[in-house]
């Protein structure tokens, strides 16, 4: 059976993906990048600080981790709130113990409902990026553009009021975007986003409104995926992060270029007491390594852009 002529005439048949955001860029073709202190690996920790309404919405889709049993679903609701009330403060203490500055992706509802938490993040020197309004604030290609723009603006403006300055970065719920989102983020003042997972290094996006940087956070290297979905222990997670560091150090030498080790954390998952010992030990090993630089997403973006 022969192929249809229409198949061969597909207009986006070319190198790379079927969109115009960026050019194909296989790893061996990259310009080398250098991190401060000539450290081979930037360790970028991102905490998802989220507020789940007790009744989820399914349009455009239900957020991962949302309520699942008949409502009111107090069991899952209070388990998530545990992260805000208790688990997040364990993470803050762990970061402080090793002098790590991290990025916290914050639902703007957190700034409204728990303003002291936002103040504590800033007082500790960490970075805040926008993470939609709350966990009903999902986005995909079915959302009308003006509704999407309003959601982005609402999240940005609420966080700006709480922080005293506008957030520079954005991460979507479930890392889901519409066709319009990169452009809308540029138009609303964001200069980097943390949704696309197709690389280990930052890279530049082109939109009709101007450029935006993609700072990738690997989907697999997250406690939600490794612990909640794959049912691994924190000891197993820590071993895999250790293994990733060893590999990235070797790869940095091979390409004479810096690498990034991202790790996404959820306070109600990692912040439980029986996981904290292994997590703190992991942070201590990362901090003690001569190969690592703890970087926020914004620091990573700035360092990369200065060399691009």
Mean pLDDT lowest among 11-15, 139-143, 290-294? 11-15
Mean pLDDT (whole number) for 215-242: 96
- Is residue 13 very low, low, confident or very high in pLDDT (cuts 50, 70, 90)? low
Taking 90 as the threshold, does the pLDDT of residue 23 lie above it?
Answer: no
- Is residue 19 very low, low, confident or very high in pLDDT (cuts 50, 70, 90)? confident
CA dihedral of residues 153, 159, 163, 167 (deg, nearest 10) = -60
pLDDT tens digits for 148-183?
999 999 999 999 999 999 999 999 999 999 999 999
Arithmetic mean of pLDDT over the chain: 94
The predicted pLDDT at position 246 comes to 98
The predicted pLDDT at position 124 comes to 98
More confident residue, 78 or 17: 78
Instruction: Return phi, psi of residue 294, to 5°.
Output: -75, 120
Mean pLDDT (whole number) for 276-289: 98
* Domains of the chain listed by start with CATH number: 39-307 (3.20.20.370)
The predicted pLDDT at position 74 comes to 94
Instruction: Output the 3-class SS for the chain.
Output: CCCCHHHHCCCCCCCCCCCCCCCCCCHHHCCCCCCHHHCCEEEEEEEEECCCCCCCCCCCCCCCCCCCCCCCCHHHHHHHHHHHHHHHHHHHHHHHHHCCCCEEEECHHHHHHCHHHHHHHHHCCCEEEECCCCCCCCCCCCCCHHHHHHHHHHHHHHHHHHHCCCCCEECCHHHCCCCCHHHHHHHCCCCEECCCCCCCCCEEEEECCEEEEECCCCCCCEHHHHHHHCCCCHHHHHHHHHHHHHHHHHHHHHHCCCEEEEEEECHHHHCCHHHHHHHHHHHHHHHHCCCEEECCHHHHHHHHHHHC
The predicted pLDDT at position 3 comes to 66
pLDDT tens digits for 56-69?
999 999 999 999 98
- Is residue 284 very low, low, confident or very high in pLDDT (cuts 50, 70, 90)? very high
Mean pLDDT lowest among 18-22, 37-41, 159-163? 18-22
Taking 80 as the threshold, does the pLDDT of residue 11 lie above it?
Answer: no
The predicted pLDDT at position 4 comes to 72
Mean pLDDT (whole number) for 35-55: 97
């Amino acid at each position: 059976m022969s192929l249809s002529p229409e198949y061969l005439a597909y207009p986006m048949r070319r190198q790379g993906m079927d969109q115009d955001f960026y050019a194909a860029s296989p790893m061996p073709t990259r310009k080398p990048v250098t991190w401060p202190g000539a450290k081979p690996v930037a360790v970028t920790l991102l905490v998802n600080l989220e507020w789940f309404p007790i009744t989820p919405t399914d349009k455009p889709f239900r957020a991962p981790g949302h309520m699942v049993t008949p409502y009111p679903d107090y069991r899952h609701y209070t388990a998530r709130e545990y992260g805000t009330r208790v688990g997040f403060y364990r993470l803050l203490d762990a970061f402080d113990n090793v002098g790590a500055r991290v990025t916290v992706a914050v639902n703007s509802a957190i700034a409204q409902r728990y303003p002291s938490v936002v103040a504590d993040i800033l007082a500790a020197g960490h970075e805040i990026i926008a993470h939609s309004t709350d966990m009903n604030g999902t986005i995909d290609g079915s959302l009308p553009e003006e509704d999407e723009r309003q959601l982005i603006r609402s999240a940005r403006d609420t966080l700006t009021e709480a922080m005293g300055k506008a957030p520079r970065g954005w991460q979507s719920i479930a890392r889901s975007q519409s066709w319009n989102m990169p452009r809308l983020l540029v138009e609303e003042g964001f200069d980097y986003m943390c949704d696309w997972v197709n690389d280990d290094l930052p890279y530049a996006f082109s939109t009709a409104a101007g450029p935006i940087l993609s700072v990738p956070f690997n989907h697999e290297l997250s406690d939600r995926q490794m612990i909640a979905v794959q049912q691994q222990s924190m000891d197993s997670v820590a071993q895999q992060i250790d293994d990733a560091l060893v590999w990235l150090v070797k790869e940095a030498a091979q390409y004479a270029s810096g690498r990034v080790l991202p790790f996404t954390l959820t306070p109600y998952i990692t912040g439980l007491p029986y996981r904290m010992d292994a997590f703190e030990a992991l942070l201590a090993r990362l901090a003690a390594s001569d190969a690592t630089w703890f970087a926020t997403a914004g620091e990573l973006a700035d360092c990369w852009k200065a060399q691009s």
